[in-house]
Structure 1
Amino acid sequence: MTMRAAVLAVLVSALLTGCRRQEPRAPESGAGSVPGQQQASAPTPAAPPGAVLFISADTRGYLGPCGCSENMRGGIGRAAFQVQQARQGGQPVLYIDGGNSLFGETHLKADQVPQEERKAKALADAFRTMGIAARATGELDDTRGADFRKGLGLPEIPSGGVKVLDAGTRKVGVVAAASGEALVKASQQAREQGADFVVGLLDQPLEAAQAAAALPGLAANLVVATHSASEFSAEENRLVRSDVPVVAVQSKGRSLLRVDLTYAPAKGPFTPQRSQGDVEREVTALEQRIALLDKEIALPGIDPKLKALKQGKRDELAARKQGLLTAPPAPAADVNGFALRFLPLESNLPSAPDTQALVKAYDADVGQLNLAWAKAHGQDCPLPEKGQAGFVGSAVCADCHPDATGVWERTKHHHAWETLEEVGKQHHLNCVGCHVTGWQKPGGVCRLDKVAGREDVGCESCHGPGSKHVDAPSPATIVGKPGEAVCVTCHNTENSPHFDFATYLPRILGPGHGGTGKSGQAGEPPAK
């Protein structure tokens, strides 16, 4: 190639390059900038017209999970974080509570009152950090009377009442009722007051809510069953798809219901968006994988390295699921729609700092309140009835059963009290009963200030009170081989969801204690 040809080739290449579309480049820090002048940033895409509703119900006095097992759902701090994050998205956000949230029982013993009232106040304060817009009430809110409940200063809707809330260019009506007939009447009133979308909060279990949703004249778009039939009857989120969808949120603050409203240019009826099928299927598949990992992680004796790997994978799947659940649905063109999604409050989710600070303050206060009450008003347990055995303590058992005691000392039952002390909950009435021996039983422990010598899940927790056995050592004077029914009083659905008697039992057995093999191999799942 001649020199002239080479020069022409360079010129042609430069011209062609100049004709190509150049992709914009973000300016490097300090490059080409003028001091004191801000660089223009790309505009944030506007949120589509609509609003987000968060609904809780049937919290039953839970600020958070007990923490007995790993990867437990729930926590008012995690719920608050979800609401606060959504408020950064540019759409109106309304938080609504369906009631039955302040207490877990309709009647309290005298020693429970200081703790449960303090907890209800902490929940009310947490609701305020979430910007609560409205709440219904149920029988589990009136455990300490209507005056106590009203004194918390929350924005209540009386039974049969209506509250209409601004939600951008639309209005959301929230109605509370204790019967289907009252729900129909209140929903019609909400429409008359200008509500475009109506949420019905029914103080009944899911089955009754389904019947109410089918009543003629109902003007609600959604019915929420806010009171589960019993303590353990709302272990899962439930959605019944019908002309008027019916939902029951997992109890004890373990999930939130998220309702995404999308607005068309013109007002009109809202229709459920059913285009989320692919997302729902993927979420279901992820939840099945997470549940399997939870069970594997909870296996007693699992290798720590394998456990860490499985936990990492579980957190990854949970994060993926959370992303799917919180992504706003694609709005349907020219349709006012709503999409329903449950948000399980998984253990890997963050907590809102301001709300979590309220929980920590409660934890610090309630132990002192309970201990002070026990010292001032506590009464010892009644003595066993004539002819019945009483508790003697594990130290007495060790005199005649050194081998069995050696096995027990290597289990986590032996450290049950210590696990409470580590988290400062040794004076919490919700916890102590499964971490001492003979709690609230004749001849046992009935006062928080008199636990000494009965700490831990001792011999008599499983084999029964031992005074008669001490006086007359014989298999007939003790429970020789306790069955599963004894274990599940503490290893229940809530505290130990993956408990399996056949799998866990070998972890507390060893030579001299119903088992064989090397004495140092006894172990067991975390104490409950």
Structure 2
Amino acid sequence: MSDRMTSAALARSASFCLLALAAATGLATSACKGKNGPGSQANGDEQAPPRTTDEASRPERVEIDLFAFGRQLGTVAPCGCTTDPLGGLQYAFGYIEAESEAGQRLILEPGSFLFPDPEGPEGPVDEAAWAQAAERAKLLQSRFSQLDGLVSGLGPTDYAEPEAGAESLATFPLPRVLGNVAPTEGAGAGEGAANPAGVEPLRVISLGHGLEAAVTVVVDPALAEAARGSWAADFPALQAPVEALAGLAPALAKADLQVVVVHGPRDLAETVAREVEGLDVVVMGGVLENADLGRLGSAPVQIGQTWLLQPGDRGQSISHLTFSLSPELPEGELPESWTLQPSATQLTAELERLESKLAKLAEDPAADAAFLARLEADRDALKSQLEDPSIPAEVAGAVITAQTKVSCRLPEDDAAKTALSRYDGWVAQKNAERFAGVKPPEPAPGKPGYVGVEACADCHEEAVALWKTTVHAGAYETLAVANKQYDLSCVGCHVTGFREPGGSEVVENEGLRDVQCEQCHGPGSLHVEDPRTDNIQLEPPRSLCLGCHTQDHSDTFDFEPYLRDVLGEGHGADARAALGEGPTAHALRQAGLEAAGGGCEKSKM
């Protein structure tokens, strides 16, 4: 709670508990509130109703928006192979620009921003992969640094580039903060910690309307120590977050809004929210082990008087709070109390729930008439609110929450879209040059190499004909049309025998493009020379598929349904018959696309 706040502001904080309802209806929506009101769908298909003459002449409300990202981990765009690809800077920034005004927003990212976790699944494995990672870091820093209201944290993976280490902070400057650096040895009482150059303990951001937010970031010391002992030796030593925040309390309290970003686990974020007095918002921006949480984050909740936000990681979802102020409020003042204002998306979801319940009760002759009448009244009230979603003039302060999925259904930011296209072009050019003439090792004497699908067709014409009807047969083309055919993050799962002895490479893969027979059955040169059943893999194990069909890259993968699409006449007809009727890969993917609201246009991927 701010020193600048009066007793009226204390009442405001106490009434924040009324807002917990928003968390129940704000999870993982692709829609947004719109400026100066709860608004309509982010894709623009729905428009707010026209304003009356009185409404048109009424001064617009002042809106202050808070957007929270999770760990970016050097990610600029998602893999486009899932049914609902989440992430993409063009959509994240399109959403921010559409939903806020410059000078009236606060944008938070917790650190571990520049580079992937070296020990994670996307960790670069060689010099070429680190070159791509550095180019992505350049893109991220360039676009994020253009945002007013940005406060960046500092995380271990920001030090991960093996040649640069801490120098990456100067190469990719951002308005960074870190609030729990351990005091230097021998420091006297009241003396500050030695933060890395350009990294402040906290930052104060003007929010417009005479209001300010004080923001700091604390990192879990255990997370930092693990990185310091491995690939981030220069990362600063840290002290306990709660202890550090106690020391920063006087500086934080000078602002109207006090915000702490916790780069650590959920329980640490909850501890900070409970034990540190006066905080308005805590953002959990730590490691998300669960894939769904990594995508969607978690809906905003309230702990005491503090909002706890948990965005997804890698830019897949954004936590968003809007503080809407009456134009009658004097500058520099906050309202005595806040009113929950559900977004149009939240209202629509609740209306659909009520209408579904009413439809079921209509079929029940024993349904209580009075209960039905109450539900119908609630439904009619929701409809009225949707017809006029504007915030009533008498409401001095309203809060709107959203947990927004970042997808192609959001507006696009042209600058980010152009930057992503340039990045793809840079990767294509650099890797075409770097890997020209580079081939994988030759097979050891007596070991098989890869021969390509045409050699398979000499004896297995029907099997190859069936393969040509599958999505595996077009895997490489999906990269080529997006100019990603030389991208090290993609190519290995779109060719056959990638970097295996006698297999394919980034550029040198002629004859082994697409996911061909040998990707599942193993290299076939010995089998071509001497066709026998004991020198080829007849039944690929499930684990082989899981190398590429991960949750992040193939969200609908299920082994047996996917087998139904690749087995048939001339290629495992008996095995296909044994599987019987049931869902196929195509059916699962179509269902996934429908659940996601339809696929993205290729031009928007």
TM-score (normalised: structure 1): 0.73
The correspondence for 2:207, drawn from 154, 157, 167, is 167
The correspondence for 1:426, drawn from 481, 485, 488, is 485
* Alpha-carbon offset, residue 172 of structure 1: 0.8
Bigger Cα Rg: 1
**Compared CA separation, residues 139 and 346, structure 1 to 2 (3 A):** same
Answer yes or no: is 1:59 the counterpart of 2:72. Answer: yes
Q: How does 1:456-495 map to 2 (within 5 A)?
A: 456-495=514-553
* Alpha-carbon offset, residue 245 of structure 1: 3.4
Answer yes or no: is 1:95 the counterpart of 2:135. Answer: no
Answer yes or no: is 1:252 the counterpart of 2:314. Answer: yes
Contact 2:105–2:149 (CA under 8 A) maintained in structure 1? no
Percent of residue pairs bearing the same amino acid type = 26
> Aligned equivalents of 1:400 and 1:346: distance in 2?
45
**Compared CA separation, residues 505 and 339, structure 1 to 2 (3 A):** same
**Compared CA separation, residues 67 and 361, structure 1 to 2 (3 A):** same
* Alpha-carbon offset, residue 286 of structure 1: 7.8
Contact 1:86–1:93 (CA under 8 A) maintained in structure 2? no
The correspondence for 1:341, drawn from 402, 408, 411, is 402
**Compared CA separation, residues 400 and 52, structure 1 to 2 (3 A):** same
* Alpha-carbon offset, residue 177 of structure 1: 0.9
The correspondence for 1:179, drawn from 201, 204, 220, is 220
TM-score (normalised: structure 2): 0.65
Code of the aligned partner of 1:143: A
> Aligned equivalents of 1:270 and 1:428: distance in 2?
54
**Compared CA separation, residues 453 and 443, structure 1 to 2 (3 A):** same
| SS class of match (1:212) | helix
**Compared CA separation, residues 199 and 217, structure 1 to 2 (3 A):** closer
Structure 1 stretch displaced more, 191-200 or 405-414: 191-200
**Compared CA separation, residues 177 and 499, structure 1 to 2 (3 A):** same
In the alignment, what sits opposite 2:380? none
Answer yes or no: is 1:115 the counterpart of 2:132. Answer: yes
* Alpha-carbon offset, residue 483 of structure 1: 4.1
> Aligned equivalents of 1:207 and 1:398: distance in 2?
57
In the alignment, what sits opposite 1:158? 178
| SS class of match (1:423) | coil
In the alignment, what sits opposite 2:508? 450
Contact 1:56–1:97 (CA under 8 A) maintained in structure 2? yes
Q: How does 1:299-448 map to 2 (within 5 A)?
A: 333=395, 338-375=399-436, 380-384=439-443, 389-445=448-504, 447-448=505-506
Answer yes or no: is 1:148 the counterpart of 2:168. Answer: yes
**Compared CA separation, residues 127 and 330, structure 1 to 2 (3 A):** farther
* Alpha-carbon offset, residue 346 of structure 1: 2.9
Q: How does 1:274-289 map to 2 (within 5 A)?
A: 276=342, 280=346, 282-283=348-349
In the alignment, what sits opposite 1:6? none
Code of the aligned partner of 2:561: T
Code of the aligned partner of 1:164: V
Q: For residues 253-290 of structure 1, what are the alpha-carbon distances to aligned partners after superposition, in whole Å with 9 as ceiling and x for unaligned?
A: 11111121245768579988656499647448989xxx
* Alpha-carbon offset, residue 225 of structure 1: 1.9
**Compared CA separation, residues 262 and 175, structure 1 to 2 (3 A):** same
> Aligned equivalents of 1:338 and 1:221: distance in 2?
13
Answer yes or no: is 1:104 the counterpart of 2:162. Answer: no
Code of the aligned partner of 2:315: G
> Aligned equivalents of 1:68 and 1:484: distance in 2?
19
Q: Which runs of 5+ in 2 are unaligned?
A: 1-52, 181-200, 222-239, 354-384, 578-583, 590-605
* Alpha-carbon offset, residue 218 of structure 1: 4.5
> Aligned equivalents of 2:556 and 2:338: distance in 1?
36
Code of the aligned partner of 2:410: L
Q: For residues 222-261 of structure 1, what are the alpha-carbon distances to aligned partners after superposition, in whole Å with 9 as ceiling and x for unaligned?
A: 2222122448461322134422333321122111111212
| SS class of match (1:444) | coil
Contact 2:257–2:279 (CA under 8 A) maintained in structure 1? yes
Contact 1:203–1:226 (CA under 8 A) maintained in structure 2? yes
> Aligned equivalents of 2:452 and 2:515: distance in 1?
10
Code of the aligned partner of 1:46: P
Structure 1 stretch displaced more, 163-172 or 183-192: 183-192
In the alignment, what sits opposite 1:137? 154
**Compared CA separation, residues 364 and 341, structure 1 to 2 (3 A):** same
Greater relative contact order (Cα < 8 A, sep 6+): 2
> Aligned equivalents of 2:390 and 2:487: distance in 1?
40
> Aligned equivalents of 1:228 and 1:330: distance in 2?
40
**Compared CA separation, residues 149 and 231, structure 1 to 2 (3 A):** farther
Contact 1:184–1:219 (CA under 8 A) maintained in structure 2? no
* Alpha-carbon offset, residue 64 of structure 1: 1.7
The correspondence for 2:258, drawn from 173, 189, 198, is 198
> Aligned equivalents of 1:442 and 1:271: distance in 2?
68
Contact 1:175–1:190 (CA under 8 A) maintained in structure 2? no
Contact 2:343–2:400 (CA under 8 A) maintained in structure 1? no
Code of the aligned partner of 2:65: V
Contact 2:69–2:315 (CA under 8 A) maintained in structure 1? yes
Q: Which runs of 5+ in 1 are unaligned?
A: 1-39, 288-322
Contact 1:164–1:190 (CA under 8 A) maintained in structure 2? no
Q: For residues 338-370 of structure 1, what are the alpha-carbon distances to aligned partners after superposition, in whole Å with 9 as ceiling and x for unaligned?
A: 543211123222201122111111111111112
Contact 2:82–2:552 (CA under 8 A) maintained in structure 1? no
> Aligned equivalents of 2:94 and 2:156: distance in 1?
28
Q: For residues 135-173 of structure 1, what are the alpha-carbon distances to aligned partners after superposition, in whole Å with 9 as ceiling and x for unaligned?
A: 112122222222123222221113532111111232111
Contact 1:80–1:352 (CA under 8 A) maintained in structure 2? yes
> Aligned equivalents of 1:218 and 1:269: distance in 2?
20
**Compared CA separation, residues 346 and 281, structure 1 to 2 (3 A):** same
> Aligned equivalents of 2:400 and 2:250: distance in 1?
21
* Alpha-carbon offset, residue 41 of structure 1: 12
Q: For residues 14-70 of structure 1, what are the alpha-carbon distances to aligned partners after superposition, in whole Å with 9 as ceiling and x for unaligned?
A: xxxxxxxxxxxxxxxxxxxxxxxxxx9995643334511112121222222222234
* Alpha-carbon offset, residue 373 of structure 1: 2.2
Contact 1:173–1:190 (CA under 8 A) maintained in structure 2? no
> Aligned equivalents of 2:290 and 2:114: distance in 1?
14
Count of equivalent residues? 440
* Alpha-carbon offset, residue 456 of structure 1: 0.6
